[in-house]
Structure formats: C-alpha cells, structure tokens
Structure 1
C-alpha cells in the first residue's frame, strides 16, 4: 500500500509536468519587483486574468513604485482602478502603500509583516512572498485549491481548508517556490475549464452574489459618478444629481428607481469608508 509520502511525490511530479505543459507567460511573471507582484496579486483577486493583463501594465506606468502610489491622489487611484471591481481593494492598496512608504519603502517578505498591511490577507501575503522573493509560503487560493481537491480529494465533499492546508505546506519545495505555484495555478485554471469545478466541493466555496441590481453595483456606480464630477471640475455630486443619474441607470435596466434616502445612505456610507467627503450639499472625491 502506497504511503502518503509516495502519493505526494506522485502528485508533485504530475503537477510539475502539467505546469510545464500548460505554462502561461503572464507579464507579472517576468518581474521580481515586490511592489509590481503585490499589485498583480491585488488585481487578480476575484478578477479574471484577461482583465488584469493590460490594466496591470497601465497601473505601473502611472504609479511605478510604492512611493508613487503613496503620494498619489486617492481619486486618481480610484479612477485608474475602474473596471477591475471591488473598489475597496484600490483604497486598501493605496493605504498599504502609504504604510510601507512611511516605513522606508521596502515591501516586507514575511507573511506576518505583510498581513499587518491594509487589504493583505494570508493568501495575498503568501503570493507576494513566493512570487517576489521565491520563499516558502502556504499559498492557498482558488486555483491551488482546485488542484488539491481534484487530485487528492477526488470523491470528497465539503472539504475544509484545514484538511487541504497541511498538504499544500507539505508540498512547498525548498527551491523554485514560484515555479511550483505557477504550475499549480496553471493546472488549476485548466481544470476549471475542462472538468466540473472541483472548488465547489470545498467548504469555503460560495456562489458569487449577483452583481446586477445589487447594492454593490449601486455603490460602484456612485463612485464612477463622483469621479466624473471631479473630472468635469464640479464641486462634487449633489444628491439630486446622484438620484437622477443612478435612477436613469436603474430604470434603463428595468429596475425600480432608488429612493433619495437610499442614495443618500449609500453616499454617506462611501464617505464613512473614505471614498469621498461630504461638504454641505455635495459629496466629492
């Protein structure tokens, strides 16, 4: 009967072979700059690779360093992020860059130090450590999880990460950590296109809530309106203008027009989170 170590050895060998066959030459894999890798990890969260390719390069052209991002106007950061979804990630990236710049500008390599920064969780921290510094880390994200579930839990349902994480850790090599995780990511992406998504058998799997018509969509629309008002040189966005613009969007999509009180609540919520400021009758970035 094969031992667990033999099974893992076969697993590692297969992943390496599949990774070589399926390797994707993505632009952020051609750099070892910790800041550039960090930006790619932030952008790739819950966003398709095809949407990030091009946007990542443009971001780095506009904000080429931690210091440049830290010094940038927040509205410019939000404007550059538009289309990538989850505007909170842009705010967190900006705030984390400010924290790193205040500490001398060097992106840390330890997971413990990285997770102390705004917006960086364990997976993002492990990705930065592995891809920028080529250091061992437990990088458990959706494509990595997909491979482990497909290969090592082929029949299991409701698999907790507590069962997967020790296996991920056991497979991390001493050398070429980034190459190992590239193989896992590329094999996992291929599996999702060719077999029923193994990640659905993970306890962490949650169907993404509908975006159209959601509160999140209305918030994103209001952020765009705030940025457009700034670009037009206006003092801000009034409640009447916000209600009219958002109402036109909603009715055009066949949905009810939002009540003014609801729109005001969303604007005040955005202000409380730091997306904008309220001054009198206007909200402005």
Structure 2
C-alpha cells in the first residue's frame, strides 16, 4: 500500500503498532511545546485550541496564552475581553468563552484540578467525547479511545481500503483493538503525526467517512463576520452602525448586508460573548 507499510488487509494489530512506532521515532513532531509538559491544565488548553485550528497557529499562540493564564483560576477570574484578546488569531471565539466557563467549573467544583474522568470532562462547556478522550490520553496517559481527523485518516487508510460511508464506531473499534499496553500519550501523537504527514500525498481517506463534510469557504462566511465583529469590539465598544463601519474596514471594502450583520450580531448577543447597554455594544465584562 506504499509508504513502506504492509498491505492494509494483512496487517495485524501488532504489525500496525510496530509500523507506526517505527515511523514516529524517525518522523514525529517531537518539537511541539505542549508535548513537553504533563501539566493537565496546560494540555487541556492545547486540546481545546487544537479542536478547529491548525497546529502551526496553536504553536504560536499557546505559549503566550499559558503564560497569561497558567492556571484555571487565572483564566476564570480574567475579564472576557482579555481572554478574547489572548485568543486573537485562533478563530472560533466561542471556544475561548467555553474555555473560560470550563475554568470556572474546574475551579469551583474540582478544586482547581482538571478532572481525570470522561463523564466529568464531557460535562464541561465545549468538551465533547473525543476531546475528553484526548485530554485523558495526553494529560493523564490513560487508554482512552478517541478519534480526531488524522487518527480517522490513518485507520481508514490502513483498515478500510475501498470502503465508503464508514461510521466512526467502526473506526473506534480498530482504535481500541490496536491500543498498546502503555505509552498511550505517545501512541496517539504517533497516530496523528502519521495521518497528517505520511498520508498527505494520498487521496484523503476521510472522504470515505460517514461524518465527512466539505468545509464551507471562510471568506465571506458568517464565521469570518463573527470574528471581525469581535475584533472590532476588542478595539472598543460602540453603536451598531459604528461597529458595522469598523467591520467594513476590516473586510477591506467587501460589502455586508445589514440583514446579515444584524443576524450575526444578534447571535453573538444571544451567546453572551457581547452585550448591549442602551445603544452601546461591547465585549461582555
């Protein structure tokens, strides 16, 4: 099947583990900063950041964010404006608000310690089952079973050749079947690095997953507009027309309709990221 691997249909779990470990020792991304800490909170933050952001961008922003918010308490007690400013460039600002809410729960209900329990992790804002599993594996070296895009790519390539509409439950069964006896943290690093780097040159196996969806273009999307509104408000509050004018400048002249702007603003207000007092809109304090 190329890449120096045995044919996928003949690979046993032991052969697969040996192949991935060998590849990782030579080619793994051993330089990533968050892989050099075992502090659960720092790893928790990195996993939230990595949910929907490229590794290279997280590598730039995570160290600064951790310096500013080294503990759940530091993040829990910070003004949201400071949190969003530190998050700038990450995208999906809602994750920053969820992360702060999670920090407050960790501080109030878990004594300031990230819980090492799948159900308690999933109860935190913005943490789904796969992110909870990744936190268990990376922060606590537990044998949790979870899937992310590069792990899915790896298993689809090696264990589901030619198959389409593959459910994540089938992928997860192979993840569980091939788990090593120890070093779960490093094992998942190896799987992700392999899926990202070694399979970059093959047709994307994730297209054969049941969950696969083509991501909409960022330029001109509601997601871009949400980010620009938050960016404009980080420079100071103002009336809706004033904020729209700032956003228009940030979009470098690209026009936005009043209807789309008002709907996006209303969504941010409903989520609690921003608030309106009188005629003035600002980041929630």
Q: Does the TM-score normalized on the shorter chain lie above 0.5?
A: yes
| Alpha-carbon distance between aligned partners in 2 of 1:249 and 1:68, rounded to the nearest angstrom | 31
> In the alignment, which residue of structure 2 is the partner of 1:86?
92
> In the alignment, which residue of structure 1 is the partner of 2:37?
31
Give a deviation string over 1:188-220, Cα, whole Å, max 9, x none: 111342212211111111111111111111111
RMSD: 1.7
| Alpha-carbon distance between aligned partners in 1 of 2:130 and 2:243, rounded to the nearest angstrom | 37
Residues 108-123 of structure 1 mapped to structure 2, 5 A cutoff = 108-123=115-130
| Alpha-carbon distance between aligned partners in 1 of 2:143 and 2:209, rounded to the nearest angstrom | 24
Residues 116-265 of structure 1 mapped to structure 2, 5 A cutoff = 116-229=123-236, 236-250=237-251, 252-253=253-254, 256-259=255-258, 261-265=259-263
SS at match of 1:245: helix
Matched, 1:72 2:78: yes
Q: CA deviation at 1:154?
A: 1.8
Q: TM-score, normalised by structure 2?
A: 0.91
| Alpha-carbon distance between aligned partners in 2 of 1:192 and 1:80, rounded to the nearest angstrom | 33
Moved over 6 A (4+): none
> In the alignment, which residue of structure 1 is the partner of 2:113?
106
Q: CA deviation at 1:118?
A: 0.4
> Given that residues 17 and 180 in structure 2 are in contact (C-alpha distance below 8 angstroms), is that contact kept between their aligned partners in structure 1?
no
Q: CA deviation at 1:249?
A: 4.4
> Given that residues 213 and 250 in structure 1 are in contact (C-alpha distance below 8 angstroms), is that contact kept between their aligned partners in structure 2?
no
| Alpha-carbon distance between aligned partners in 1 of 2:129 and 2:152, rounded to the nearest angstrom | 14
| Alpha-carbon distance between aligned partners in 1 of 2:263 and 2:209, rounded to the nearest angstrom | 36
> In the alignment, which residue of structure 2 is the partner of 1:271?
269
Q: TM-score, normalised by structure 1?
A: 0.91
Matched, 1:42 2:45: no
| Alpha-carbon distance between aligned partners in 1 of 2:70 and 2:130, rounded to the nearest angstrom | 23
